[in-house]
Amino acid sequence: MEEEIRYFITYLQEVKRASRNTVMSYQSDLAKMRTFTEGQGAHSAGAVTATMLNAYVLSLERSGKAASTISRYIASMKAFFEFLVRKKRIDEDPAFHLKAPKVEKHMPGILTIQEMEHLLDQPSLENPKGYRDKAMLELLYATGMRVSELVNLKVGDLNLRFSWIVCRDGEKERMIPFGSKAGTALRQYMEKSREALVKGEQTDCLFLNCSGTPMSRQGFWKLLKSYAKKAGIEKDITPRMFRHSCAAHMASGGAGLHTIQEILGHMDLTATQIYAGFQPDTKAEYSKSHPRG
């Protein structure tokens, strides 16, 4: 089955242009399934039966795997076998009748608007580092992007004139609007800070650390923790909390499900359902609903 899994992974990479994290997730999930089914005597995808897959899912449940994890494994198997049927590599789909367990969706931890505003006010605009930190925090809250996307931004991704930024997740990219507060912070950073941080080096990275090298995820995590402590926020704050807070605050301001999905870059609308309803225009809704739009 190794060759068939490799065939599927190549399709994800070269045709679907799936992100690196997505590809790694499929590889890991399917490798676990392969180990189990080969132990049952099935050494090719065509030899796998629905009974084997049901037994595999049962073994996952008995081992105490979370419902969300089992659901992901099932989704990976369904995508894999459906692909092989479509490509006529196998005649029947043994995963067709598999049903994912119900996963209870909880609202993730977020900061209140007041906590967020207090946190965003913490950087001191007296040195290059303060301007950089202010710009990074404002942009993260304004766009809801992932920290990995934030630290990988290039100068050319930023459009201050039209208040948009190009955000990349693997091979995929999306344009996200940002509001006036983030725009002001970014403009000040570009005019008063970035050149001092570059230290004469040639780099197109947008955000740099004090050594003139690109800001890392770990570096951003540390500065976020320090500002949260300075702001007196007792919650266990994480960069992902900014993403959830952005979406939740937009939802409470009237933004619709599709707008939030587009801004966060969710592939599946169900991932956005914990947040809100629907309205059309992304740019107009963003300005109206984001607390710092």
Catalytic residues: 243, 286
CA distance 275 to 253: 11
Tally of CA atoms within 13 A in the half-sphere of 53 that contains its CB: 25
Q: Are 272 and 264 in contact (CB under 8 A)?
A: yes
Q: Are 169 and 23 in contact (CB under 8 A)?
A: no
Neighbours of 217 (CB within 10 A): 14
Edge to edge, the sheet with strand 164-169 lists 158-159, 164-169, 172-177
List, in sequence order, the alpha helices (H) in the chain. Answer: 2-14, 20-39, 50-62, 67-86, 113-120, 128-143, 147-151, 180-192, 194-198, 217-230, 239-252, 257-264, 282-289
Our measurement of the distance from residue 250's CA atom to the centroid of its chain's CA atoms, rounded to an integer in Å, reads 17
CA distance 164 to 199: 27
Q: Are 165 and 157 in contact (CB under 8 A)?
A: yes
CA distance 176 to 33: 38
CA distance 74 to 85: 16
The backbone region for 26, taken as left when phi is positive above 0, alpha when psi lies in -120 to 50, beta otherwise, is: alpha
